[in-house]
Structure 1
Amino acid sequence: MKTSPGICQKKRRFATREAADAAALAADVTLRTYKCALCHSYHLTSRTKGLRPPRGLG
């Protein structure tokens, strides 16, 4: 997923995929995790096409 610099700056950043997946699973809507090519952190998105589902905790 390609993220523009303006969007990247507005999104919450997660240091690990596990932390992002935990936030995605706790959300009230379906969210997916992806690694940002700009900041190299993980972000969440509501777009689901082509992205893998969040990993379960445990």
Structure 2
Amino acid sequence: MKTTLGICQRKKRFETEEEALAVVARAEVTLRPYRCPLCRRWHLTSRTKGMRLPRFERERRAPPPDAP
């Protein structure tokens, strides 16, 4: 799905991916940051199909180092 100008203007914008990820980490729902092709800032989406997991989620899901 492509971000339209109307959607871009209604969404909160973050200057950096780190700022967006800080909000994602505190959210009670699953969110993913993405770089908007229109404003070149970061937005959040609840759509997750085909999107990469943030580092904190990859680390949370990784097995412990001593696991067989």
TM-score by length of 1: 0.89
Identity of aligned pairs, percent? 61
- How far apart, CA to CA, are the structure 2 residues paired with 1:29 and 1:18? 18
Q: Which runs of 4+ in 1 moved over 3 A?
A: none
CA RMSD of aligned residues (A): 1.1
Unaligned runs of at least 5 residues, structure 1: none
Unaligned runs of at least 5 residues, structure 2: 57-68
Which residue identity lines up with residue 41 of structure 1 in the other structure? R
What's the counterpart of residue 21 of structure 1? 21
What's the counterpart of residue 10 of structure 2? 10
**What's the CA shift for 1:2?**
2.0
Which residue identity lines up with residue 14 of structure 2 in the other structure? F
What's the counterpart of residue 30 of structure 2? 30
RCO (CA 8 Å, sep 6+): is it higher in 1 or 2? 1
TM-score by length of 2: 0.76
